[in-house]
Amino acid sequence: MITGTSISTYFAVEASNNATFFRQERDRANEKTTQAEQALAREQQALAKEQAALAETEQTIEQYIETVQNSQLLREPRFQPLLRELLEDARAHYQSYLDRLGNDSDPRQRAKVAHSLMQIGDINDLSGSLEESLAAYQQAVALWQSLAEEQPEVLEHRRELGHAYGSVGAMQEDSGDLEAALASNEKSVEILSRLAEVRRDPKTLEMLAGSYQRIGSIHGRREDLDAQSENYTRTIENYQTLDDQA
């Protein structure tokens, strides 16, 4: 009986020790899980704050650029030095914004980068830097192209791609490369025309009209009056559709 009691006591003590051990391990595991969840929550809060800051920066820069672009007073010759200074400041802000975005693979972030590149192209165009403007637009084309291929269901990507091709064509025309300008604007018309078949929204129609107008201008410079007239007619048709929708 003594031996049996000793054995029973021994197993009871072992069972109690094992239970204590497993409780301690469970508590440690729960503590680590809680710590991990808290760390994840902190990271998510930090990410949310960073995204909010980026969104606020983006909105501020866009408002600033719009003000500079639309100021008729700044276009007067006496204000040209100030305009160049403001544009350079805007370009620096956008470059800083692009650096913060980095090489993010998120399609939404890449779309923001492409949009920012278009704005940089606009700024360089206003300041007379055609080569830098063309380079920014071409980078935007590459980004919008990849986004349109990856997400064909997102119509905005195709619209912005068509717009970017048109902007490239405008810079090529200004630099005197009419063949390249014609090809870029025709690519713009091809993309935007297909898009207009499924969604004839004002932005698409306005961009399409602009591309037709540039093509007409190019044909005029090449003294192809029939092609010039044809494309100007299509320009008018698209603007007329815009008026009808208003």
**Which tokens in the block code for residue 134?**
């063309």
Residue range 216-231, pLDDT digits in tens: 999 999 999 999 999 9
Sign of CA dihedral 6, 11, 14, 16: negative
Q: Has residue 54 got a pLDDT over 80?
A: no
Cβ proximity of 190 and 166 under 8 Å: no
Q: What pLDDT sits at residue 2?
A: 46
Please report the DSSP string for 88-128 in residue order: HHHHHHHHHHHHHHTT---HHHHHHHHHHHHHHHHHHHHTT
Listed residue (188, 182, 186) closest to 162, CA to CA: 188
- The answer to pTM > 0.75 is no
The answer on pLDDT for 8 being more than 50 is yes
